């Protein structure tokens, strides 16, 4: 049921026409890179339909850049699932790999990873393409956004390994860091080969927009992926946290999660209305204003595109059978181990 | 001899008057944190006289901020020496600790380290104070500068562990990353509690100034620390690289290193002259121009302050006896192991 929950977005976002071309190249790459290792793993991966997410979140990317973005999605989502509840030591390996992923954008592009596995090899290749042509300032921002996300992800794995569950307030702060939206929005600039002016990016309105979008998308994801995470025994989901801490029924917890999501979406919309005044305050030129607006569009593409994808992806499917569902019931996050050579 | 080499700096830089107050607090902290463990280690550490470096590179810091900056110097310099040529496995532990240091500024300030040792505990405490009151944009820039330096440092340790030596051209590119100047300049903003406007920081002139300063200081350090590094068997020193690759005598290699340093200092000075035109191009207000100039001063403080300190520090002393010199001759980078609990 939660995967069907609809939100009333006050804007529509475009969809790229490069789906077939990019998906074909992407699926070949995923196999060539060893990012799926079993037939069942490949089928599970395909059911997520990440190419549908990429064409919606980066609608203006060129055909070849669309492949790069799909490739990036695959390694990020597949890495996200590498936790295994039955092997607490796994948390250390996940941290080791996460730190390699953090360091990659801090080294000259094209450097081979020091910690070698399919995930790190894939990321080193993708980063070389993702950083192509971007300024040092953008690379710096992306590296920090990406690093904060991966550091938070490792914390999440540590919490799970220790069986620690957060309350509502720390959870919402934590969710903003684990959702991984800041670097996803940063990549929107690369996807259209432009950059938001640095002074606008540093302005509280723009920072607020990014945070509001992160909260909105994080909470939406929690609602849409609720069945999957319940099946996987993942207590870090807004509905589960509300149910547990406030003693709400599942239905009331879901309703409260919906209300909280709408509130953050409203905050986003109110902040968006302040962008013209921000541009005036910063005395931006017409060209700079145009790039600020493209930056706002990059955020919208993520809110709208991710929402559309979440409604249908097999990743969040409630009723599920087969090897992937069986692995999940055993506490294994994924069918294939991607953290070893 | 090389520690005496004088350069003709075209500017003078101020010196803080908070030496005694800050040094006393700092030396107590270094012992309390376990950053020195033996009496010989403490004596060696004191001979480096890092407080003299701090009062010159951050002349405008408040007395208590001066303590924070000295504390930061201590953990960075002490970590730098943890390599042990006799224990190649040590490179893995250094990388593990370096990655913890990289991640610290990517987590909420005050988070306890995941990899625990005196160095990481000290850095978690210092980062909480160093980031206090600074914007997200500054924290992002610092985190990336610091992360790039530590990633390069780990590469240097790997090269040493494998016995790989670089040629002149790759070495000079590498030196810009290992010298650790970008984050040191970033900290200059915190030391005076101001920030360079983001659009100026992103401008090629400002990027060029930072790179020219990094090259200048890196090469100067190589000259002034030449005797120490020769004693330690560290082949990653500009004089040693020139001697080895170009077949120059030590004297001629030192002269060529001097010439290369002067050339980068000249480039810095030429770029500085372009700052007013950059401010015009960016249509900066008077207050923004003032903050740009303070940013330039932060770079000057590092060029001048580091130079003055290098001429006299016991860290680079040519003639040296006692436990620290004995350890160096055995290939041990330091007297105390600071990477274990």
Per-residue pLDDT tens for B33-56? Answer: 999 999 999 999 999 999 999 999
Q: Cite the beta strand spans of B155-266 per DSSP E.
A: none
Does A6 fall in a domain? no
Task: Compute the nearest-CA separation of A306 from chain B (Å).
Answer: 25
What residues of B are in contact with residue A150 (Cβ under 8 Å)?
A: 106
* The residue count for chain B: 341
Does A94 fall in a domain? yes
* Residues of chain B above pLDDT 90, percent: 79
Interface test with B, best of A146, A148, A153, A203 (most B CBs within 10 A): A148
Interface test with A, best of B196, B198, B207, B288 (most A CBs within 10 A): B198
For the stretch B20-23, contacts whose Cβ atoms lie closer than 8 Å and that sit 24 or more positions apart, written own/partner, are B21/B63, B21/B66, B21/B67, B22/B51, B22/B54, B22/B55, B22/B63, B22/B66, B22/B67, B22/B70, B23/B51, B23/B70
Measured in whole angstroms, the distance separating CA B38 from the mean position of its chain's CA atoms is: 24
Q: Closest Cα to residue B127, out of B144, B141, B107, B145?
A: B107
Mean pLDDT value of segment B212-226: 96
How many other CB atoms are found less than 10 A from the CB of residue A61? 24
Domains held by chain B: number: 1
Task: Please tell me if residue B206 touches chain A, with a CB cutoff of 8 Å.
Answer: no
What residues of A are in contact with residue B144 (Cβ under 8 Å)?
A: 106, 139-140, 143-144
Helix and strand totals (H; E) in chain A: 17, 0
Q: Do the Cβ atoms of A4 and A311 come closer than 8 Å?
A: yes
Give the pLDDT band of residue B148 (cuts 50, 70, 90).
very high
Supply the pLDDT for residue B1.
60
Does A107 fall in a domain? yes
Does B117 fall in a domain? yes
Does A3 fall in a domain? no
Angle at which helix B286-310 crosses helix B204-224, to 10 degrees, equals 10
Helix (H), strand (E) at residue B158: helix B136-162
Task: Please tell me if residue A172 touches chain B, with a CB cutoff of 8 Å.
Answer: no
Contact A137 B102 (CB under 8 A): no
Does A5 fall in a domain? no
Burial of B110 (0-12, 13-18, 19+ CB in 10 A): exposed
Does A161 fall in a domain? yes
Q: Which chain B residue is nearest to residue A208, measuring alpha carbons? A: B136
Task: Compute the nearest-CA separation of A325 from chain B (Å).
Answer: 32
Helix and strand totals (H; E) in chain B: 17, 0
Task: Please tell me if residue B99 touches chain A, with a CB cutoff of 8 Å.
Answer: yes
Give the pLDDT band of residue B172 (cuts 50, 70, 90).
very high
Whether the pTM exceeds 0.90: the reply is yes
Supply the pLDDT for residue B85.
67
More confident: A326 or B71: B71
Residue B330 has pLDDT above 80, yes or no: no
Residue B163 has pLDDT above 90, yes or no: no
Supply the pLDDT for residue A1.
60
Tell me the two tokens of residue A281.
């305050």
Q: Closest Cα to residue B221, out of B311, B332, B333, B324?
A: B311
Does B161 fall in a domain? yes
In which domain, by residue range, is B75 found?
Answer: 19-329
Mean pLDDT value of segment B201-210: 98
Supply the pLDDT for residue B200.
98
Task: Please tell me if residue A143 touches chain B, with a CB cutoff of 8 Å.
Answer: yes
Measured in whole angstroms, the distance separating CA B229 from the mean position of its chain's CA atoms is: 16
Ranges of residues in chain A with a pLDDT under 50 are none
Supply the pLDDT for residue B244.
95
Supply the pLDDT for residue A180.
96
Rg (CA), chain B: 19
Interface test with A, best of B92, B116, B145, B147 (most A CBs within 10 A): B147
Of A114, A135, A144, the CB nearest to B106: A144
Give the CATH number, domain containing residue A30.
1.10.600.10
Question: DSSP class of residue A83?
Answer: -
């Amino acid at each position: 049921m939660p995967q069907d929950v609809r939100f009333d977005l006050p804007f529509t976002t475009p969809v790229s026409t490069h789906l077939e071309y990019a998906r074909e190249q992407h699926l070949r790459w995923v196999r060539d890179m060893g990012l799926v290792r079993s037939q069942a793993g490949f089928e599970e991966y395909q059911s997520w339909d990440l190419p549908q997410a990429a064409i919606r979140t980066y609608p203006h990317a060129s055909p070849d850049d669309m492949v790069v973005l799909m490739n990036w999605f695959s390694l990020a989502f597949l890495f996200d699932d590498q936790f295994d509840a039955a092997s607490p030591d796994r948390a250390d390996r996940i941290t080791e790999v996460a730190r390699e992923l953090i360091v990659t954008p801090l080294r000259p592009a094209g450097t081979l990873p020091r910690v070698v596995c399919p995930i790190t090899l894939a990321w080193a290749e993708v980063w070389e393409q993702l950083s192509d042509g971007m300024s040092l300032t953008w690379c710096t921002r992306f590296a920090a956004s990406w690093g904060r996300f991966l550091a938070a992800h490792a914390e999440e794995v540590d919490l799970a390994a220790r069986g620690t569950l957060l309350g509502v307030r720390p959870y919402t702060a934590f969710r903003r860091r684990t959702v991984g939206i800041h670097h996803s929005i940063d990549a929107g600039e690369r996807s259209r080969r432009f950059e938001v002016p640095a002074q606008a990016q540093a302005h509280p309105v723009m920072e607020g927009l990014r945070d509001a979008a992160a909260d909105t998308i994080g909470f939406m994801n929690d609602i849409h992926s609720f069945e999957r995470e319940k099946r996987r025994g993942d207590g870090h989901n807004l509905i589960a946290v509300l149910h547990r801490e406030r003693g709400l029924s599942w239905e009331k917890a879901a309703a409260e999660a919906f209300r909280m999501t709408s509130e953050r979406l409203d905050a986003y919309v109110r902040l968006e209305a302040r962008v013209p005044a921000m541009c005036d305050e910063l005395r931006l030129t017409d060209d700079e204003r145009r790039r600020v607006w493209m930056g706002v569009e990059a955020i919208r593409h993520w809110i709208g595109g991710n929402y559309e994808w979440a409604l249908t992806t097999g990743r969040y499917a409630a009723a599920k059978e087969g090897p992937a569902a069986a692995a999940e019931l055993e506490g294994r996050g994924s069918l294939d181990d991607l953290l070893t050579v």
